[in-house]
Amino acid sequence: MLAGRALAGSPATDPAEASILDFAARFAQGHSPYAEPHDGAAPLMPALPMVVSWLVWLLDARAWEPRLVSLLATFVTAIVVGFIVRDETRSATLGAAAVGLLLMGQGLATGGAAFARSEPLMLLFVILGCQVLRYLPSILGALLAALLFGAACFTHPAGLWFALAALLHLGVHDHRRFFAYGLGLTALFCAAEFGLSRAVGPWFNDATWDACLRSFHFEPVGLLRYVGTQLLGTLGVFTLATVLSFALPVRPWRGAVGIWTWMAFAALTAGIVATQDGSAPAEAMRAPAMILAIAGPVSAQRITQHLSNWPGGSRMGGQAVVLTALALQFVTLFASGSP
């Protein structure tokens, strides 16, 4: 419903959406949007405007074009997340529920207007990079993951947190791929910085990374509301399940499956930063809603499986608890939505 409203909605009135469309139009015309300083403007990485510029070049600038790219990225991410949860939990029910939870969480972040944003495309690159690291245990897989995480960094600044979390995961799990991924990511990042600075204008770094640093201001009230209202309120069931998984004998950050715990750390950091840089409060929910749609069901099932092995426990009883947790998480998301 939100996707349909967005695509058929009014012209771009949101400042961030208008900036994406303006940057895309300049790219389509062969001009650089970073050729002059953007004082006071929100930082905007070039990846999403470059993708949208193809539609602008073909069909002229329309408000639905960046919305379509963001919505397609969200839907593809949801499908990938469904397969991830199904594979990790061996449950098609949990996989389908994860898709619904992710879409509801993104809906709460966008609101009724569902404006275009860079985060959905960034999160798609992140989730694909995680899949590569999870299922391609080779040097080539590490280099491909470095390419995907590097693309995420130049789609939205929050991608940097996920790229660093993947590096920490490999440092704990696989030292051989740790060096390949680290060197690949560093080389790619430096090459992209040099190439973009020369190709899209001398003010590229000032309008992106420097602008991110300038927009950061300590807001303790925003941080408290993020943790107390969003993480422990709206996403509270799966947040607590993820926290309780740290009490299991097998530490959740170890092994191949530990990548989702490291991504949860990165999503928490990205959300905290979003509360301190002047973003709308709901925007901080995007990354945690996606990662908890994976880490939440996986953690809940691991906890109930551990408890069902105790004397008197049963597998069916554990499954009932997991499904109850899913139902409670859906209730909190429904309750947090607008009328």
User: How do the domains of the chain map onto residue ranges?
Assistant: 73-336
pLDDT in tens, 83-116: 999 999 888 989 999 999 898 888 776 665 556 8
Least confident of 125-134, 172-181, 233-242, 316-325: 316-325
Q: Are 290 and 233 in contact (CB under 8 A)?
A: no
Contact 152, 163 (CB under 8 A): yes
Q: Tell me what the mean pLDDT of segment 315-339 comes to.
A: 79
Q: What is the C-alpha separation between 112 and 257, in angstroms, rounded?
A: 35
Q: What is the mean pLDDT of residues 43-64?
A: 87
The rounded percent of the chain whose pLDDT value lies above 90 is: 31
What is the number of other CB atoms lying within 10 angstroms of the CB of residue 30? 8
pLDDT tens for each residue of 272-289: 988 887 777 777 888 888
**Cβ–Cβ under 8 Å, residues 316 and 145:** no
Is 0.85 surpassed by the pTM of this model?
A: yes
DSSP percent split of the chain into helix, strand, coil, nearest 5? 75, 0, 25
Angle between helix 64-89 and 15-28 (nearest 10): 110
d(CA 265, CA 288): 9
Q: With CA atoms as reference, report the closest residue to 102 among 125, 81, 76, 123.
A: 81
Phi-psi region of 44 (alpha: psi -120 to 50; beta: other; left: phi over 0): beta
Instruction: Evaluate if residue 39 carries a pLDDT over 70.
Output: no
DSSP 3-state of 8: coil
Task: Return the exposure string of 177-190: e unless at least 16 CB atoms fall within 10 Å of the residue's CB, then b.
Answer: bbebbbebbeebbe
